[in-house]
Amino acid sequence: MQCPIDGTELVMTERSGVEIDYCPQCRGVWLDRGELDKIIERSAAQMAPQAQAARPVYDEDHRDSGYRKKKKRGGFLDELFDF
């Protein structure tokens, strides 16, 4: 199958049990029927335990100023689209 944007041959790969087609040239991603639903379900399932355990993290040096240090968390979508 060819990329609808630039005509490059699409590459098919499987990420976390979901088959995706992507263009190595423009980095466009195309999903077949039902694949977006799988991504949404797995992302929601992974985020639910994290949301329950999430608490603000404060830097010790800025505790009095109300400064919040954010933690970067990789999620299902980060793993899926990391080519």
Task: Give the pLDDT confidence of 10-35 residue by residue, as tens digits.
Answer: 999 988 788 899 999 999 999 888 99
pTM > 0.85: no
pLDDT of residue 9 exceeding 90, the answer is yes
Of the chain, the percentage scoring pLDDT greater than 90 comes to 24
Write out the DSSP string of 19-82. EEEE-TTT--EE--TTHHHHHHHHHHHHHHHHHHH----B-GGGTTTT-BPPPP---HHHHHT-
Predicted local distance difference test score (pLDDT) of residue 12: 93
Domains of the chain: 1-53 (3.10.20)
pLDDT of residue 60 exceeding 90, the answer is no
